[in-house]
Amino acid sequence: MTDHYAVIGHPISHSKSPLIHKLFAEQTGQDIEYERIEAPIDGFEKTVRDLQGKGYKGCNVTVPFKFEAFAIANRRSERAATAQAVNTLKFDGDMFGDNTDGAGLVHDIEENLGVRLKGKRVLLMGAGGASYGVTLPLLQTHCTLTVANRTVEKAIKLAAAFSGVQASNYADLAEKQFDVVVNATSSGLSDELPPLPPGVFSEGALAYDMMYGKETPFMSFARANGAAVADGLGMLVEQAAEAFYIWRGIRPDTRPVIAKLRS
């Protein structure tokens, strides 16, 4: 019997998740259907309860509903609890909420890009929901983590929520260098560059933008300053693989899927 899943967001028409899960299902021989659903802005919970009532097994959740998904879950993983946001719900009698974004980022950096994070100096730019989502999994790699934000109070608040995170503004980065710089700001959406000093990239640094589908000003800036550059397409596929594993107990091979999406 076919098991049903969906991704819920607003808007959702651009989502690549149905294609990614279709490729995972073909590869692993799992009998699933996965569709996009646009919930009304004030209708997220009803949409989820309807799916649960129809016998769906779970869903992914994207902008702007990850906080509401956190609120309606009645069991949550530690990484969802620290993110205060849920991108994966599993309907297993209960409503289990998890957040696979940070694991997706870490897998992409370590496994696909071959950069071990242990002992590395990592700079995370931004202190919004995207940063909260990835902070615990980053810390668990035993890297040294600094969070920089334009509004420094938000970086300080994030650092206070996780032990082991240093908060900074951008100006104070002038004398510092990092091995990995992750852009978790929304600056790319408006074609802006966070006010990063050009010397922040160490020799051989990786600059990682969580956005995908376009060259952001951060990516161009990092390239011009000698860093290796990656976009967030690998993270997208890896967070999906982690959700697939939660639902199906099988971890798909992400590399052919990433390659197919790039081609």
DSSP code at position 196: -
Binding mask 87-126 for ligand ATR (x = CB under 6 A): ---------------------------------------x
Question: What end-to-end distance do the CA atoms of the chain give, in Å?
Answer: 32
Under the binding rule (CB under 6 A), the answer on residue 183 touching ligand ATR is no
* 186 lines the binding site for ligand ATR (CB under 6 A): yes
Cis peptide before 197 (omega within 30 of 0): no
Which strands form 165-168's sheet, in the order they lie side by side? 165-168, 144-148, 121-125, 178-183, 201-209, 228-230
Amino acid at 66: K
Check if the beta carbon of residue 38 is closer than 8 Å to that of residue 13.
Answer: yes
Q: Is 151 in the site for ligand ATR (CB under 6 A)?
A: yes
187 scored as a contact of ligand ATR (CB under 6 A): yes
Nearest residue to 132 via CA among 178, 83, 194, 68: 83
- Annotate 67-107 with DSSP letters as a single string: HHHHHH-SEE-HHHHHHT--SEEEEESEEEEE--HHHHHHH
Decide: is 128 part of the binding site for ligand ATR (CB under 6 A).
yes
Smallest gap from residue 209 Cβ to ligand ATR (A): 12
135 sits near ligand ATR (criterion: CB under 6 A): no
Q: Cβ atoms within 10 A of the Cβ of 109, count?
A: 26
Copy the structure tokens of residue 260: 């197919």
- Per CB under 6 A, does 192 bind ligand ATR? yes
Cα 67 from chain centroid (whole Å)? 14
Check residue 129 for interaction with ligand ATR (CB under 6 A). Answer: yes
Q: Figure out which of the listed residues 10, 16, 150, 176 binds ligand ATR, where binding follows CB under 6 A.
A: 150
What residues form DSSP beta bridges with 91? 95
d(Cα 104, Cα 206) in Å, to the nearest integer?
A: 16
Give 190: exposed, middle or buried? Use CB within 10 Å, 0-12, 13-18, 19+. exposed
Angle at the Cα of 69 from the Cα atoms of 16 and 127, rounded to 5 degrees: 80
* Binds ligand ATR by CB under 6 A, chosen from 88, 99, 135, 185: 185
66 labelled catalytic: yes
Q: Closest CB to ligand ATR among 165 and 257?
A: 165
Q: Per rule CB under 6 A, is residue 194 in the interface with ligand ATR?
A: yes
Q: Which residue is nearest to ligand ATR (CB)?
A: 128
Binding pattern to ligand ATR, positions 209-238, x when CB under 6 A? ------------------------------
Q: Which region, judged by CB under 6 A, interacts with ligand ATR, from 98-106, 144-152, 159-167, 220-228?
A: 144-152
The residue annotated as part of the active site, out of 66, 90, 157, 176, is 66
Q: Give the interface segment with ligand ATR, choosing from 48-56, 112-120, 143-151, 242-250 (CB under 6 A).
A: 143-151
Catalytically active residues are 66
- Which positions touch ligand ATR (CB under 6 A)? 126-131, 149-151, 154, 185-187, 192, 194
